[in-house]
Chains A and B, each alone.
Chain A
């Protein structure tokens, strides 16, 4: 009996040692996003998109002939929680690269740590301008707020021919304000007129602003905000009889689920269109819907692309060494992405096309694609 016990103990220890020592046989990507709470819809989409990409990559032979593992931790959208998640990913899980944080605020909070660790970071969705500058190892897969805002302005002015626009934005939200500012700068540059209307995160009642917009006779409203706010604004606009087109940004993604009737005929800038007929897009949409039982939003698509782009960089670096991976990312050209070709400029922002979507009968229809300027 004693001998048996000894044998088992020796065997167990032997196994443990072999697991600890030597080369690890997986490549690990960490994911940070709000997986629970008010913003969980965004974090869960990122996690799902990343996991789908990893599954497909593993089925095709993995990364550097190893299995790719995705480890996702919850940030609740809170910077402090995000830093904790990052520390855990680095120390406990020893990740090779990070996909995240999903929110700009969280990504900015972990930026300094990631820079001093020289961790390769490819955030799928952090759009704030300060995320990538002065950090050689930080890249993003989405375009920035200002790029999106000015593209929306170009579209509103050139394609829709609107010259007297109301810009209605959330004063408490950096994303909303960033888009609005870029939009207004573009209108200033063209000498077109606009009026600012602000609201706050705590607001539910937008009737005062909308009544004024109607009274001023604006010919369009630029509304860079998230679905919950956009839905409420559009519903109230309809009941006040305000009958002009609304234009938005990628925060509108998913508007057709609950608010198709009030968003009918309106436009928003997005990373990709579900109805795009390109094979990469259709495969992604089909596989995602099959795996998770719902159509992917833009965040899922960006996370999916981010994993593929990062895996490609690992292959090109032919190593998990941070410096080599960062260099490979900087020179990367990934063509098969759902959200358009991914190449990075000198500060780590992608150079890619923006899709303008029109909501028609509750579906996304590609209105036009605007190239990088």
Chain B
């Protein structure tokens, strides 16, 4: 039983990261129907920003400030990517935008390769990894912070989407762009805001990922980015709560499979489950099935 709880905590830790990154995929898809494949790379850059501010610039900034600066930089980066690469393609066929996103992903990977080099760098955790004794379990402090901060930011996001004006505008744009313009909503700004929020949360996921697994390298975003994308589809792409639930579920399923079945079955089980869900509920776990308009 103790082992089970410990593995559950491991799963929640990975799940928090997947959930944070999945939110970015789902928000962007919700608003411009684009699968932003460069999102994994934003996650990677977020981790590098934290690395630079923590170890390459000798300012000795506190942990929380490093996180906030990295999130802001990643948000700016996300907005720039949208303005430069995606905006002109809003009316283009969806496949063009998708290919652009893949191109952007490769471009960013190679940019990181040029700037930081190919070698794995050690990312020392910015907070203590010493185990903390809690309810009879030894949990690393970093894990507690990862889970805590993820849940906190998700709550802030939910509040923002449902209770504030820009949040309502965001929902309006995702429901009907034309009507939103008629209501006087500046959709360019709303789309930028969506990219900014998604990228900032993605960067936070990247920072936690690099700290938990102690390494940082230019292709860091590829696998977790893919898993987070699956989480977003799993939960119903376009649905923010769905992305969170999907992220936690994927994280827990993955860890439990590794722990109790076999490492080799992890991907087979995760992807098999995805296929099952999509067979019975094509719009994902929490996705609303929309009727095609003719």
A, B: real partners = yes
Q: Tell me the A residues contacting B by CB distance below 8 Å.
A: 37-38, 40-41, 171, 197-200, 202, 204-209, 211-212, 215, 228, 231-232, 235-236, 238-241, 258-259
Complex contact B209–A211 (CB within 8 A): no
Q: A232-B214, A238-B129 are in contact. Are A207 and B118 (CB under 8 A)?
A: no
Interface window among B1-9, B31-39, B156-164: B1-9
Cα distance, A162 to B122, chains bound together (Å): 30
Q: Tell me the B residues contacting A by CB distance below 8 Å.
A: 2-3, 6-7, 10, 13-14, 118-122, 125, 129-131, 138, 140, 142-143, 209, 212-215, 217, 220, 223-224, 255-256, 258-259, 262-264
Output the least CB separation between A212 and chain B (Å). Answer: 6
Chain B residues within an 8 Å CB radius of A232: 213-215
The 8 Å CB contact of A235, one of B13, B214, B256, is B214
Chain B residues within an 8 Å CB radius of A228: 120, 215, 217
Chain B residues within an 8 Å CB radius of A240: 131, 138, 140
Cα distance, A231 to B121, chains bound together (Å): 10
Complex contact B6–A211 (CB within 8 A): yes
List 13 A-B pairs, Cβ < 8 Å: A202-B223, A205-B213, A208-B7, A208-B259, A211-B7, A211-B10, A212-B259, A228-B120, A228-B217, A236-B212, A236-B213, A236-B214, A239-B143
The 8 Å CB contact of A211, one of B3, B129, B130, is B3
Known: A197-B263, A205-B213, A211-B3. 12 other contacts (CB 8 A): A38-B118, A198-B262, A204-B209, A207-B13, A211-B10, A236-B213, A239-B140, A239-B143, A240-B131, A240-B140, A241-B131, A258-B121
What are the 7 A-B residue pairs with the smallest beta carbon separation, nearest first? A239-B129, A208-B258, A204-B213, A235-B214, A207-B10, A198-B263, A228-B120
* Nearest CB in chain A to that of B142: its residue: A239
Cα distance, A209 to B119, chains bound together (Å): 25
Output the least CB separation between B47 and chain A (Å). Answer: 11
Cα distance, A241 to B10, chains bound together (Å): 13
* Nearest CB in chain B to that of A199: its residue: B263
* Nearest CB in chain B to that of A37: its residue: B118
Chain A residues within an 8 Å CB radius of B258: 208-209
Chain A residues within an 8 Å CB radius of B262: 198
The 8 Å CB contact of B263, one of A41, A204, A209, is A209
Q: Is the interface of A mostly helix, strand, loop or mixed?
A: helix
Output the least CB separation between A325 and chain B (Å). Answer: 36
Cα distance, A154 to B225, chains bound together (Å): 42
Highest count of chain B CB atoms <10 Å: which of A171, A198, A200, A211? A211
Complex contact A171–B263 (CB within 8 A): yes
Chain A residues within an 8 Å CB radius of B13: 207
* Nearest CB in chain B to that of A214: its residue: B6
Cα distance, A197 to B121, chains bound together (Å): 25
* Nearest CB in chain A to that of B219: its residue: A38
Cα distance, A239 to B13, chains bound together (Å): 13
Chain A residues within an 8 Å CB radius of B255: 205, 207-208
The 8 Å CB contact of B215, one of A198, A200, A204, is A204
Highest count of chain A CB atoms <10 Å: which of B143, B209, B263? B263
Output the least CB separation between B230 and chain A (Å). Answer: 14
Complex contact B264–A198 (CB within 8 A): yes
The 8 Å CB contact of A215, one of B2, B125, B140, B263, is B2
Chain A residues within an 8 Å CB radius of B119: 41
Output the least CB separation between B211 and chain A (Å). Answer: 10
Complex contact A259–B131 (CB within 8 A): no
Cα distance, A235 to B130, chains bound together (Å): 11
Chain B residues within an 8 Å CB radius of A212: 3, 7, 259
Cα distance, A236 to B223, chains bound together (Å): 19
Cα distance, A208 to B13, chains bound together (Å): 11
Complex contact A40–B264 (CB within 8 A): no
Cα distance, A40 to B140, chains bound together (Å): 35
Cα distance, A209 to B266, chains bound together (Å): 13
Chain B residues within an 8 Å CB radius of A37: 118
Chain B residues within an 8 Å CB radius of A202: 223
Cα distance, A258 to B129, chains bound together (Å): 17
Complex contact A215–B122 (CB within 8 A): no
Chain B residues within an 8 Å CB radius of A205: 10, 14, 212-213, 255
Complex contact B214–A215 (CB within 8 A): no
* Nearest CB in chain B to that of A210: its residue: B10
Complex contact A171–B131 (CB within 8 A): no
Output the least CB separation between A238 and chain B (Å). Answer: 7
Cα distance, A240 to B13, chains bound together (Å): 13
* Nearest CB in chain B to that of A262: its residue: B214
Q: A204-B215, A208-B258, A238-B129 are in contact. Are A215 and B209 (CB under 8 A)?
A: no
Chain B residues within an 8 Å CB radius of A206: 213
Cα distance, A205 to B214, chains bound together (Å): 10
